[in-house]
Structure 1
């Protein structure tokens, strides 16, 4: 039975479509058009109470019973547990994945998201202050990521990516929109190209085509 992915054309939505493709899980897409406030529809709110995409419905959850999961980080952990892929079983190996997943959820997402917000505001002192504040922090986070990737293929694991890579990639995909070129981030640039060259990842970025 296929998982239902409720999503839209956003970085957080991309995390899950990439993970589903990489894990080879069958899924169907339910678009939630946030430009039309569809995230406030009662049907969606019934299992995604924070009125944010993405969310999933898995008819074949634990013990074969259906389950719903909201919040992209929680979904990635659930899918990793479900498949046994891209989330190490060994606790010592798992800790870096959890660290970098939380790093993304707590900073490398909220900060560039604020950059996007202020870029859409009318020009003026408030816009400039907000943009400069959050753009500076976004660039700092990219610097942290670049240092982490020095001499590494992937952010938190060896040999193959982890759910942390999928989470971070969702937002790095928008680097041009939040005005962070990769010119002085060689390790991020190489990692980004490596990830985007993966056929399953590319397929994940085509969902939804909106």
Structure 2
């Protein structure tokens, strides 16, 4: 890909300003990680709604960008060495944007940030998602209690780990970082969308609830949570 116009996705979602970063997303907990990050760092971008109701994520143009048919994904027309960069996976995109902007990845805490980012990617996200399925969606109709209990117990354990790490800190590594941008949207989803927080011991946590409130109070977070607009 030599230019943005070379990529098939631009025929389905034409850019209005081709020299801006293009975000293809939906306001889910993984999707808003990137819109929040872009709002925090002030990098100009265009957001395109990938509508799951219309099966956009399975369309040939989108699969050309992310063969794993998940959001979010980006194309940065001004990537490394001035060449366009196509990228998927929210964790990878957060790292890229932190390095590109020089923001939200404190140099002296880089690996600490990355470990908590991986904690979310490998733990909080998958486990909260499974608990949400069994608590809020069709899984609640399954009579066998063992699957839901497995994910409830693991979600509770992960929340306890996070709660302990936040003792004496406003943010997970002390400074606000991409780790917080990865973690907090999933806490919000567990509490407000899946409505499964109480089952995972939310009321017994000492630090996580206030941490989420601090995150949600940030102006960039408030903007990013609504991007892309569902129309």
TM-score (norm 2): 0.84
Please say if 1:39 is aligned against 2:57. Answer: yes
Question: Residue in 1 aligned with 2:179?
Answer: 164
TM-score (norm 1): 0.92
Question: Residue in 1 aligned with 2:115?
Answer: 99
Question: Residue in 1 aligned with 2:224?
Answer: 204
Please say if 1:66 is aligned against 2:84. Answer: yes
The C-alpha deviation readout for 1:106-139, integer Å capped at 9, x for no partner, is 010000111122232252323x322111111111
Measured after TM superposition, the shift of residue 22 of structure 1 is: 0.4
The C-alpha deviation readout for 1:144-197, integer Å capped at 9, x for no partner, is 111110100100233xx1000000012011122151144222311111111111
Q: 1:149 aligns with which of 160, 166, 182?
A: 166
Question: Rg: which structure is higher?
Answer: 2
Please say if 1:82 is aligned against 2:97. Answer: no
Question: Residue in 2 aligned with 1:56?
Answer: 74
Unpaired runs of at least 5, structure 1:
none
Question: Residue in 2 aligned with 1:191?
Answer: 211
Structure 1 outlier segments of 4+, above 4 Å: none
The C-alpha deviation readout for 1:83-122, integer Å capped at 9, x for no partner, is 00001234xx111101000000001000011112223225
Unpaired runs of at least 5, structure 2:
1-18
Q: Is the 8 A contact 1:135 1:178 kept in 2?
A: no
The C-alpha deviation readout for 1:10-36, integer Å capped at 9, x for no partner, is 100011111010011111111111233
Please say if 1:19 is aligned against 2:61. Answer: no
